[in-house]
Amino acid sequence: MNEQIQRVRQEVLDAAKKMVKAGLVASVWGNLSARVADSDLVVVTPSGVEYETLTVNDLVVVRLDTGDVVEGSLKPTSELNMHLAILRARPDVGGVMHTHSVYASACAVARCSIPPLIEDMAQVVGGAVSVARYALPGTVELGQHVVQALGNKGAALLANHGVVGVGETISEALRVCVIVEKAAQIFALSKMIGSPVLLSQEDVDFLRHVYKTSYGQKKST
């Protein structure tokens, strides 16, 4: 189990570094979590630690049901309630990423959902990126609102706050957050040019199905 925990810690650390490199967060903001398979454990980022200096052993291991710290000397992310609420509600989700990317956050401030307007967004999100009702950061209420806005999709906006992306792995959650920010930029630019033409729900459903069932390479057994 210790080897498995360390592997998940490394995956979370790698995703955190890529998140910063992609410009999705700055300084200490944003947070990540990932399940440890076949256990009730979750690896989360610590609160208020610069990503530049973050190490594998800085990552905190908590229990999914209680949030109690199992391993790690640092305090877990202030958004622990939100991460655990998502993971409890979505057994299909193995990784959660919360970012403050600029265009998606602008949509969140405007309380404007991002409609399904590009194919890769339809694939990784499965529909519009809805805006969760506002609640103060770190609260149980915020977690409840985000779970409701997510439904069975891959992302949600947090009103006046930022973005949450989820996936089977933390790497996929990163992919979702990158694509949501790209979609938010395209949405804003297309509205300046004219009236965006959206994908039909039928096309969204088809693209999502293909992505979930046959996209990419088969996993080795």
Rounded to the nearest 10 degrees, the angle between the axes of helix 80-89 and helix 140-150 is 40
- Where are the domains positioned within the chain? 2-213
Angle of CA points 177, 136, 181, to nearest 5°: 15
pTM for this predicted structure: 0.94
CATH among 3.40.190.10, 2.120.10.30, 3.40.225.10, 3.40.50.300 for 2-213: 3.40.225.10
**pLDDT tens digits, the chain, 221 residues: what are they?**
699 999 999 999 999 999 999 999 988 899 999 999 999 999 999 999 999 999 999 999 999 999 999 999 999 999 999 999 999 999 999 999 999 999 999 999 999 999 999 999 999 999 999 999 999 999 999 999 999 999 999 999 999 999 999 999 999 999 999 999 999 999 999 999 999 999 999 999 999 999 989 877 766 54
| Amino acid present at 26 | A
Query: Tokens for 174?
Result: 């990163």
**Active-site residue set:** 79
Sequence-distant (6+) residues with CB within 8 A of 152 are 90, 126
Query: Tokens for 180?
Result: 């949501």
Measure the CA–CA gap between 197 and 134, rounded to whole angstroms: 29
158 sits in which H/E element: strand 155-158
